[in-house]
Amino acid sequence: MDPVISIRDLSKSFLDNQVLRGVNLELYAGENLVILGRSGSGKSVLIKIVAGLLKPDQGEVKVLGQHIADLNTKDLQTLRQQIGFSFQGSALYDGMSVRENLEFPLVRNQRNLSRKQVTEAVRQVLSDVGLLQTIDQMPSELSGGQKKRIGIARTLILHPEIMLYDEPTGGIDPITCVELNHLINKVQKQYNTSAIIITHDLTCARMTGNRVGMLLDGKISKLGGFEEIFQTNDERIRGFYNYNFIHQP
Amino acid sequence: MEERLDQVEGFKKKVPFSQRISHFFSGLYEIQQFIFRFFKEMFTPPYEFKEIVRQCYHIGYRSLAIITLTGFITGIVFTKQSRPSLSEFGATSWLPSLISIAVIRALAPLITALIAAGKIGSNIGAELGSMKVSEQIDAMEVSGTNPFKYLVVTRVLASTCMLPILMLYAAIIGLMGSYLNVHQNEQTSFISFIHDAFVKISFLDVFASVIKSTVYGFTIGVTGCFLGYRASQGTVGVGKAANSTVVISMFLIFIEEMIIVQIVNAMR
């Protein structure tokens, strides 16, 4: 089976700080791949390169069979309609209501839709994330968890094949985190998405990941099931597990 | 204390003079690239007409109140301040033409531009800056929209188009303020005031002011968008972008004023 995302020898540095040092990764259709790592380890950089927001220094990124580096602006924009990106801070447009936030990508990418179809699509996707009642609210009136859900809804409205989640449970209370994890799994099943989930939350990794990888020293150290990757003698990986679940060094 | 100061950015090390020069020129290069991209995107479809109209409304209509107030006060104050000097020579009848020349040639374009730099420029810098640091611009990009075209081209075009209109409006309001003062003191009729005011005004005066305002509008739009679009460092960066937009725009406006006046005087 061909991977939907294939990354080969990916390197990226910012001035003297090399964050990615030859990352190799494959995401297969229908799976949720969780990338764990400490803050500043380059997790977000990795998915921003996949979405074409950052250019790699070296290496190759293929998304749905297309080399990101070879695409012109127009083709990249077309490809991006197949990629949903849920940002760490939700990135909802402050000046627009929830309805307008959701309509924005839809009306700009599918200009032939009638007003009624747009409204129906917005209501459908809002109801899928369980926030239909917020349709006329402004982002400033929403809680952190609601913003995350609306952010996910905004990407789902284009029915992407691939979802990229950047810290989906970051800064959210544990109960809302669990709800968001359920939502990620629901999206995977209902919208048939393949996803890369960037997180340092092991509960999120355990609940959502079909495969889990750990980004250490700019490389994916190990890929496998959640339990599998922590059965290791590598102190850094074990330490990550202990800090999350046992809270002892 | 020394250790803690070392951790603060700027206290770490003094930037060498050569590096500052290099930053200055790389900044100029970036601005040039930004302006080239603006012209390229402006002529490339699809065009964002709806957003341009919305920005024109925000930039133009929403500035009317402050432009009205400042234009009116400028007209009155300038007339009041000029009267004593002219009355010494018994030349108060020259007030309308003096005021109109001053308002149309210099005051209206400059005052409108300075107010726009403060109100519109800071707004653009802060808005785009906060969108940048909260990843809203990235979100727009990954949702298949060209954020440069949607955010930058529309704002620069709107400020470029609206500033000449605001300038003409400010000039009319300034002359109205002046008329009220002249009428109060010299009992001049409105028709006579307008006649005296425009008898010394040539097409070149009005045309040069419109061109000046267009250049100022472009300057304010580009400065605000450029600084907002490359904002970083969170909320500090947003404040910096807004503040720098005002300072740099005002500085550039005075430089441009000087250059355009030289050109227009040479054409006279």
Whether the bond into B46 is cis, omega within 30 of 0: yes
**pLDDT category of residue A109 using cuts at 50, 70 and 90:** confident
**Where do the structural domains in chain A lie, given as residue ranges?**
5-92+162-246
Exposed / middle / buried, residue B61 (Cβ in 10 Å: 0-12, 13-18, 19+): exposed
The mean pLDDT of chain A is 89
State whether A109 and B144 contact (CB < 8 Å): yes
Residue B243 within any structural domain of the chain: yes
User: Can you give the pLDDT at residue A240?
Assistant: 75
Question: In this complex, is the C-beta atom of A80 within 8 Å of any C-beta atom belonging to chain B?
Answer: yes
Name the residue among A91, A92, A95 with its Cβ closest to that of B138.
A91
C-beta atoms of A51 and B130 within 8 A: no
Whether residue A154 has pLDDT greater than 70: yes
Per-residue confidence at A249, pLDDT binned at 50, 70, 90?
A: very low
Percent of chain A with pLDDT over 70: 97
User: How confident is the model at residue B13, as a pLDDT?
Assistant: 58
Per-residue pLDDT at B2: 44
Burial of A91 (0-12, 13-18, 19+ CB in 10 A): buried
Q: Is B112 inside a domain boundary?
A: yes
Q: Which residues of B touch A (CB under 8 A)?
A: 127, 130-131, 134-136, 138-146
**Range with the poorest average pLDDT among A155-159, A230-234, B130-134:** A230-234
pLDDT by 10-residue block (mean), chain B, 268 residues: 47 73 88 94 90 93 93 94 88 88 94 95 94 92 90 96 96 94 88 90 93 96 94 87 94 94 89
Q: Compare B2 and A106 and report the one with higher pLDDT.
A: A106
Amino acid at A155: T
- Point out the residue among B127, B136, B144 whose CB comes nearest to the CB of A91: B136
Please give the pLDDT value at position A246. 57
Instruction: Say what the pLDDT of residue B200 is.
Output: 86
CA A238 to CA A246: how far, in whole Å? 11
Q: A105 and B143 in contact by Cβ < 8 A? A: yes
| Residue A48 forms contact with B (CB below 8 Å) | yes
The verdict on A154 touching B (C-beta cutoff 8 Å) is yes
Asked if A202 contacts A190 with a C-beta cutoff of 8 angstroms, the reply is no
pLDDT tens-digit series, residues A49-98: 999 999 999 999 999 999 998 888 888 888 998 999 999 888 999 989 99
CA distance B219 to A90: 33
Identify all chain A residues contacting B138, using CB atoms and an 8 Å cutoff: 48, 53, 85, 87, 91
Give how many domains chain B has, as a whole number.
Answer: 1
Rounded-to-integer distance, Cα B157 and Cα B31, Å: 17
Q: How far is A199 from B241, CA to CA, in rounded Å?
A: 31
Q: Would the pLDDT of A39 be above 90?
A: no
Q: What is the span of the domain harbouring residue B143?
A: 31-267
CA-CA-CA-CA torsion sign (B264, B265, B266, B268)? positive
- Asked whether this complex has an ipTM greater than 0.90, the answer is no
Residue at B59 is within a domain: yes
Residue A170: pLDDT band (50, 70, 90) is confident
Tokens of residue B163, six digits: 């500033």
The answer to which of A109-118, A158-167, B118-127 has the lowest mean pLDDT is A109-118
The pLDDT value given to residue B92: 83
Residue by residue, what is the 3-state secondary structure of chain A?
CCCCEEEEEEEEEECCEEEEEEEEEEECCCCEEEEECCCCCCHHHHHHHHCCCCCCCEEEEEECCEEHHHCCHHHHHHHHCCEEEECCCCCCCCCCCHHHHHHHHHHHHCCCCCHHHHHHHHHHHHHHCCCHHHCCCCHHHCCHHHHHHHHHHHHHCCCCCEEEEECCCCCCCHHHHHHHHHHHHHHHHHCCCEEEEEECCHHHHHHHCCEEEEEECCEEEEEECHHHHHCCCCHHHHHHHHHHHHCCC
CATH number of A5-92+162-246: 3.40.50.300
Pairs of CB atoms within 8 A across A/B: 60
- The pLDDT assigned to A248 comes to 46
Token readout for A117 is 């179809």
Answer whether residue B18 is part of any domain.
Answer: no
Judging contacts by C-beta atoms under 8 Å, the chain B residues touching residue A109 are: 143-145
Taking residues A36-56, what's their average pLDDT? 89
